[in-house]
Amino acid sequence: MPSGILLLDKPLGLSSNAVLQRVRTLFLRQKAGHVGSLDPLATGMLPICLGEATKIAGQILAGRKRYRFTVALGVATATGDAEGAVTTRSPVPPFDRLALEALLTRFRGPQTQTPPMYSAVKRAGQPLYKLARAGVTVARAARAIELFELTLLVLGPATLELEALCSKGTYIRVLAEDLAGALGT
């Protein structure tokens, strides 16, 4: 079987690893890996390296990523996404587009971000999401990331649709929580 990179449009509801296992089965490949991870509730392009192409996965992973996402204001969940149990509801204060655009400029550039407990980051060989599901919270080191672009696409009464161009290691769920917090919701 030839080596190469498969650019797959990951469907809603599957983890990146579940998609990888299906590709391995279809292509009869043991040597395969996905480049980066998308949450089960995320859809989008997921590069999968097959065979000898796995040797360049690190170079692909180091590249910039573009995400389009919606932030629901006034509600927080245990997981930081629509899948988690609602932990907090709060009123959405009034704000205008100009104030929001000014806020977005503060989020652009180099910064640090702490990975969420519901993530594939490993601690002592165990993914954090498994610890979180068991009710265990551990300290996580902040990581350097960069937001090259952060653009408001749609402003709704309690939602924001945004697009971000960012470095590897950026958690969009954490960015959404930080934006909501900065807006006072």
Residues with catalytic annotation?
39
Count of residues for the chain?
Answer: 185
The full DSSP string for 120-176 is S-EETTEEHHHHHHTT-------EEEEEEEEEEEEE-SSEEEEEEEE-TT--HHHHH
Measured torsion, CA atoms of residues 90, 93, 98, 101, in degrees rounded to the nearest 10:
-10
CA distances from 83 to 35, 76, 118 (A): 23, 11, 11
CA distances from 148 to 47, 75, 111, 155, 168 (A): 21, 27, 11, 21, 11
